[in-house]
Amino acid sequence: MKSTVIKYTVTVSVCLLIAVGVSFLRSLYWQTDAKSVMMALADTFSIPGLLVLFSGLLVACSNHGAFYMFSFAGKKFISLFKKVRSEEDKMTYYEYREMKSGKRRDYSYMLICGGAFLLAGIVFFFIYMSL
Protein backbone atom coordinates (compact mmCIF):
# COMPACT_ATOMS: atom_id res chain seq x y z
CA MET A 1 0.00 0.00 0.00
CA LYS A 2 2.72 2.44 1.01
CA SER A 3 4.74 1.62 -2.11
CA THR A 4 1.73 2.30 -4.33
CA VAL A 5 1.12 5.68 -2.71
CA ILE A 6 4.76 6.61 -3.22
CA LYS A 7 4.63 5.57 -6.90
CA TYR A 8 1.55 7.69 -7.55
CA THR A 9 2.93 10.63 -5.58
CA VAL A 10 6.22 10.65 -7.46
CA THR A 11 4.52 10.24 -10.84
CA VAL A 12 2.03 13.06 -10.19
CA SER A 13 4.86 15.26 -8.88
CA VAL A 14 6.90 14.67 -12.03
CA CYS A 15 3.85 15.43 -14.18
CA LEU A 16 3.20 18.63 -12.26
CA LEU A 17 6.85 19.67 -12.54
CA ILE A 18 6.77 19.16 -16.31
CA ALA A 19 3.42 20.98 -16.48
CA VAL A 20 4.85 24.01 -14.64
CA GLY A 21 7.79 24.05 -17.05
CA VAL A 22 5.51 23.88 -20.07
CA SER A 23 3.26 26.58 -18.64
CA PHE A 24 6.24 28.92 -18.36
CA LEU A 25 7.31 28.06 -21.90
CA ARG A 26 3.80 28.77 -23.18
CA SER A 27 3.66 32.06 -21.16
CA LEU A 28 0.49 30.91 -19.44
CA TYR A 29 0.83 33.33 -16.56
CA TRP A 30 1.04 36.38 -18.83
CA GLN A 31 -1.88 35.55 -21.14
CA THR A 32 -4.92 37.80 -21.02
CA ASP A 33 -7.11 36.31 -23.76
CA ALA A 34 -9.31 33.38 -22.64
CA LYS A 35 -8.69 31.47 -25.86
CA SER A 36 -4.90 31.63 -25.54
CA VAL A 37 -5.13 30.65 -21.85
CA MET A 38 -7.15 27.54 -22.74
CA MET A 39 -4.68 26.58 -25.46
CA ALA A 40 -1.77 27.03 -23.05
CA LEU A 41 -3.59 24.91 -20.45
CA ALA A 42 -4.26 22.23 -23.04
CA ASP A 43 -0.54 22.09 -23.83
CA THR A 44 0.37 22.28 -20.16
CA PHE A 45 -1.56 19.13 -19.31
CA SER A 46 -1.26 17.20 -22.59
CA ILE A 47 2.53 17.17 -22.85
CA PRO A 48 3.31 15.61 -19.44
CA GLY A 49 0.33 13.29 -19.87
CA LEU A 50 1.64 12.00 -23.17
CA LEU A 51 5.20 11.66 -21.85
CA VAL A 52 4.15 9.61 -18.83
CA LEU A 53 1.57 7.60 -20.76
CA PHE A 54 4.05 6.63 -23.48
CA SER A 55 6.68 5.82 -20.84
CA GLY A 56 4.16 3.46 -19.26
CA LEU A 57 3.44 1.87 -22.63
CA LEU A 58 7.18 1.41 -23.18
CA VAL A 59 7.46 -0.36 -19.81
CA ALA A 60 4.46 -2.51 -20.76
CA CYS A 61 6.13 -3.52 -24.02
CA SER A 62 9.33 -4.29 -22.15
CA ASN A 63 7.43 -6.40 -19.61
CA HIS A 64 5.92 -8.50 -22.35
CA GLY A 65 9.29 -9.26 -23.94
CA ALA A 66 9.47 -6.83 -26.84
CA PHE A 67 13.13 -6.03 -26.17
CA TYR A 68 14.42 -9.43 -24.99
CA MET A 69 15.95 -10.20 -28.37
CA PHE A 70 18.01 -6.99 -28.40
CA SER A 71 19.26 -7.66 -24.88
CA PHE A 72 20.08 -11.28 -25.69
CA ALA A 73 21.90 -10.34 -28.88
CA GLY A 74 23.94 -7.71 -27.03
CA LYS A 75 24.97 -10.20 -24.35
CA LYS A 76 25.91 -12.80 -26.98
CA PHE A 77 27.95 -10.23 -28.88
CA ILE A 78 29.86 -9.23 -25.73
CA SER A 79 30.46 -12.88 -24.83
CA LEU A 80 32.27 -13.37 -28.16
CA PHE A 81 35.14 -11.25 -26.84
CA LYS A 82 35.41 -12.89 -23.42
CA LYS A 83 38.20 -15.39 -22.79
CA VAL A 84 36.31 -17.28 -20.10
CA ARG A 85 32.64 -17.88 -20.67
CA SER A 86 30.18 -18.26 -17.84
CA GLU A 87 27.03 -20.35 -17.67
CA GLU A 88 24.99 -17.28 -18.60
CA ASP A 89 26.89 -17.00 -21.88
CA LYS A 90 25.90 -20.56 -22.87
CA MET A 91 22.16 -19.94 -22.50
CA THR A 92 19.83 -20.34 -25.44
CA TYR A 93 17.31 -17.66 -26.27
CA TYR A 94 14.49 -19.76 -24.84
CA GLU A 95 16.29 -20.13 -21.49
CA TYR A 96 17.08 -16.42 -21.45
CA ARG A 97 13.44 -15.54 -22.10
CA GLU A 98 12.23 -17.84 -19.34
CA MET A 99 14.71 -16.29 -16.91
CA LYS A 100 13.67 -12.73 -17.80
CA SER A 101 9.92 -13.39 -17.90
CA GLY A 102 9.74 -13.64 -14.11
CA LYS A 103 10.94 -10.06 -13.66
CA ARG A 104 7.98 -7.81 -14.37
CA ARG A 105 7.52 -4.21 -13.27
CA ASP A 106 4.28 -2.50 -12.40
CA TYR A 107 3.30 0.21 -14.86
CA SER A 108 -0.40 0.81 -14.19
CA TYR A 109 0.33 3.93 -12.13
CA MET A 110 2.06 5.49 -15.14
CA LEU A 111 -0.88 4.74 -17.40
CA ILE A 112 -3.41 6.10 -14.91
CA CYS A 113 -1.52 9.32 -14.10
CA GLY A 114 -0.58 9.95 -17.72
CA GLY A 115 -4.12 9.25 -18.84
CA ALA A 116 -5.55 11.63 -16.24
CA PHE A 117 -3.25 14.46 -17.31
CA LEU A 118 -3.96 13.76 -20.98
CA LEU A 119 -7.70 13.76 -20.28
CA ALA A 120 -7.39 17.14 -18.56
CA GLY A 121 -5.49 18.44 -21.59
CA ILE A 122 -8.18 17.15 -23.94
CA VAL A 123 -10.90 18.84 -21.84
CA PHE A 124 -9.04 22.16 -22.02
CA PHE A 125 -8.59 21.66 -25.77
CA PHE A 126 -12.33 21.19 -26.29
CA ILE A 127 -13.00 24.29 -24.20
CA TYR A 128 -10.50 26.13 -26.41
CA MET A 129 -12.29 24.91 -29.54
CA SER A 130 -15.68 26.06 -28.22
CA LEU A 131 -14.47 29.63 -27.57
Kindly list the domain boundaries of the chain, sorted by start residue: 2-130
pTM: 0.82
Average pLDDT over residues 44-70: 93
pLDDT number for residue 115: 96
pLDDT over 90 percentage in the chain:
59
CA distances from 56 to 4, 30, 50 (A): 15, 33, 10
Is 56:105 a contact under the CB 8 Å cutoff?
no
